[in-house]
A and B are shown apart, each in its own frame.
Chain A
Amino acid sequence: MLDSYIPIFIIITISALFAIVNVKLSSLLGPSRPSKEKLSTYESGVEPVGTAHDRFSVKFYMVAVLFILFDIEIVFLYPWAVSFLNLDHIKMMYSFYSVIVFIVILLVGYIYVIKKGALKWD
């Protein structure tokens, strides 16, 4: 069973080697003439103001949280989708109605999020 994953491990190893070699190679082959100005943060040629590790808009955080919520909802639908075709008729109807209830609950949350303006960008 796990045999089929061996190629995936090999391919990830090869890709990792490719990445490491390329990252190392450029610092070995290229010139290295660092200066204070060259290593300073690029800010369109002006003296950098403050730091970039500052507070940023909370909207990005909202999107991340909502993504986790909805993605988990979708992940719950995957087992249903895989087994749906193989069920007999009565179980199929039953699973269908269950999923509809599940999606309706999801939609209530979705409408609440929209009404609250969590996804409003301005």
Chain B
Amino acid sequence: MSDSLVNLIIILSKIAVVQGVLLTAVAYSVYAERRVSAFIQNRIGPNRVGPAGLLQPIVDAVKLLLKEDIVPANANKFIHSLAPSISIIVSLSTFAVIPFGDTITIGDKVIKLQIADVNIGILYFLAMTSLGVYGVTLSGWSSNNKYSLLGGLRSSAQMISYELSMGLAVLAIILMNGSLELDTIVNSQAGWKWNIILQPVGFIIFLVSAFAETNRTPFDLPEAEQELVGGYHTEYSSMKFALFFLAEYANVIVSSAMITTLYLGGWQFPYLQDFGLPPMLVSILQIFTFTAKVTFLVLFFIWVRWTVPRFRYDQLMNLGWKVMLPLGIANLVVTAIVILFMKS
């Protein structure tokens, strides 16, 4: 077999595994959300289908597929089905640049545990999350429904506002590493040199922005049920609705993976290399470490959703523009000053 064919097979199998795991994780984070919310509210939650309700996501998917696909007569038909596609494409392909392990050696092939090892990983992530705004805005506009329009507008305003502070928080990390490669950033966090310790303010800014970007409570004004029915997906049914739902949870997982990569050391397990374990086991443990950190953050997202009430819209905008933005700039300048002093 030629070398390029082997490489192509490796790429395809990596994509297949990661996409498979990601979609399963998305389905089960919906299940986790329902179980955790039930636990927090002292209910039981889904427990009928399969052991402890574990087959619930599959049954839900089948149910949604068999529902009637309603497109309102006044809606713009093409954009109406384009919008959920944009949302899901963006959220599924963002994971491509996130390193979920160092390298794994199979035979004499050294495989990088990252789908695409591009040198502008951070820019790719920021670009893709920005594209997510299109799905929400277009769905709000194309439905020709007042609730959808308001939800879409609110959502786009909120997402672009918090993107600024997210970009500023990431800038401080780039300043410390001098690289846009996610791999370099993870490697610099070896041992306990996690960026959460070096960049606590940046971590909080990024975390809050991630909540706002994924439209999760306390920033879920786009779908504020009590006033906007379903927000931007009011007029959606069947699998198109499910695609928005999947995209939301995929965004939660991708954001958690990004927080892990940037601030929690990525796949780094402190001092794992010093234990003298076989390299195969080290690689597998690194993947487990990454998964454990991401799982914790996803549970944190769910936990916050059922604990904190929703913001009012002016409070949300004030927080984004008058607190997060100046804080991000201050964090950037302080980081630059510290680097300047360390170097001289």
Contacts and interface: CB of A to CB of B under 8 A. Distances in A.
A52 B84 contact: no
Contact of A23 (B81, B92, B229, B325): B81
A44 B229 contact: yes
B190 interface: no
A81 to B, nearest CB: 4
B96 A100 contact: no
A26 B148 CA distance: 21
A8 B340 contact: no
Contacts of A107: 329
A33 interface: yes
Given A14-B19, A33-B68, A84 B339 contact: yes
Contacts of B85: 16, 19-20, 23
Interface in A82-121: 82-86, 89, 92-93, 96, 99-100, 103, 106-107, 110, 114, 119-121
B243 A11 contact: no
B116 interface: yes
Interface string B286-330: 000000000000000000000000000110011001100110010
B321 A119 contact: yes
B167 A23 contact: no
B178 A86 contact: yes
A64 B117 CA distance: 33
Interface residues of B, number: 84
B129 to A, nearest CB: 13
Contacts, number: 206
Contacts of B329: 103, 106-107
A42 B116 contact: no
Contacts of A60: 153, 156-157
Given A42-B229, A67-B161, A70-B325, A77 B171 contact: yes
B11 interface: yes
Main secondary structure of the interface of A (DSSP, over half): helix
B118 A63 contact: no
B116 A53 contact: no
Contact of A41 (B144, B150, B160): B144
A12 B89 contact: yes
B311 to A, nearest CB: 11
B178 A83 contact: yes
Interface of A: 4-8, 10-12, 14-16, 18-20, 22-23, 25-27, 29-34, 36, 38-44, 51-53, 56, 59-60, 63-64, 66-67, 70-71, 74-75, 77-78, 81-86, 89, 92-93, 96, 99-100, 103, 106-107, 110, 114, 119-122
Interface of B: 11-12, 14-15, 19, 64-74, 81, 84-85, 88-89, 92-93, 95-97, 115-119, 123-124, 141, 143-150, 153, 156-157, 160-161, 163-164, 167-168, 171, 174-180, 229, 234-235, 238-240, 242-243, 313-314, 317-318, 321-322, 325-326, 329, 332-333, 336-337, 339-340, 343-344
